[in-house]
Amino acid sequence: MDLGLQGRVIAVTGAASGFGKAIVEFLSAQGADLHVADRDVSGLARLTATYPSIRATTVDLADRSAAARWIAAVESATGGSIGVLVNNAGGSLGQVAQDPVEVSDADWDAILAINLTAVFALCRAVIPGMRKAGGGRIINIGSRASQHASLAGVQAYTAAKHAIAGLTRQLAADLGPSGITVNCVAPALVRTNPQRDAQWDRYGEAGQQAMLNRIALRRLGTADDIAHAVGFLASDLASYVTGVILPVDGGVS
């Protein structure tokens, strides 16, 4: 299906693997003009080897100044505004569940820096260009943990993803008069990396089956499922959709 994204300037963070890679692959097939960022140098190299038209930048988005400079560089390279910003970078950074009293300041701060503060910094940087252009799309990647306790049990991750839901709703209200839509895609558990594989394995056969039984479609989601939702929200088909937290979870919500 042609979503009308041919030539549209789209910036995607956390593009080297997982959801980000699937989003880039799907949007590339739609003909988008893709500009991507990640701190994974080798992952970006593999991505651009497969998709040489993509412009990739290695950047630590937890550095707010670096995040803003990347947005400015994309606008400079394209000679205009960014049409769609996909805030995908984030995750639990390899942290595992622990008693709240054992959580260090450094671990808490690291997760909020990339999952929340970086998202705001990128939105703040992209808004002036979108306003000048008369509109745009911001798509945040949240989680089922945006509205529930996280299955992984990492408190900072759950707090950040809940905050992303609130930020999405607030920015949608703030930016609607400028023609900018702001939405959030909220996946459930998807096996996109070794950490999620290990989480799945810890449930054991009985636990895995119990989880699948709570999902209406009786299967885990895939990264492609998330990419397809992002493609819809990026397209003109979603021109009247804003402030939405879209669960992409097979009916477990």
pLDDT tens, position by position, 69-117: 999 999 999 999 999 999 999 998 888 889 999 999 999 999 999 999 9
> Within a 10 A sphere around the Cβ of 100, how many other Cβ atoms?
8
Residue 210, strand partner residues: none
Listing DSSP states for 185-242 in one string gives EEE--B--SHHHHHHHHHTHHHHHHHHHHTSTTSS-B-HHHHHHHHHHHHSGGGTT--
pLDDT score recorded for residue 252:
85
Distance separating alpha carbons of residues 177 and 135, to the nearest angstrom: 9
Compute the distance between CA of residue 104 and CA of residue 48 in angstroms, rounded to an integer. 37
DSSP class of residue 141 equals E
pLDDT at 253: 62
Residue 179, token pair as written in the block? 């023609």
At 177-205, the pLDDT tens digits run 999 999 999 999 888 787 777 887 888 88
Read off the pLDDT band of 210 (50, 70, 90).
confident
DSSP symbols for 87-121: E-----TT-----GGG--HHHHHHHHIIIIIHHHH
Token representation of residue 147: 């509205």
Beta-strand pair 136-141/180-187? parallel
Answer yes or no: 157 catalytic. Answer: yes
pTM: 0.94
pLDDT digits (tens, 9 = 90+) for 33-44: 999 999 999 999
Tell me which H or E stretch contains 152: none
Question: What does the alpha-carbon distance between residue 76 and residue 15 come to, in Å, rounded to a whole number?
Answer: 20
Q: Which amino acid is at 152?
A: A
The DSSP bridge pattern shows strands 84-87 and 55-58 to be unpaired
Residue 207: the pLDDT is: 85
- Distance CA(167)–CA(183), nearest Å, equals 10
- Per annotation, catalytic residue among 51, 157, 203, 240: 157
Residue type, 227: A
CB 184 within 8 A of CB 119: no
Query: Are 113 and 158 a contacting pair, CB within 8 Å?
Result: no
Helix 41-50 vs helix 18-29: crossing angle, to nearest 10? 20
Contact 193, 150 (CB under 8 A): no
Domains of the chain, first to last? 9-192+223-245 (3.40.50.720)
Task: Kindly state the average pLDDT of the residues 121-139.
Answer: 98
**The pairing of beta strand 84-87 with beta strand 9-13:** parallel
Specify the 3-state DSSP secondary structure of 157.
helix
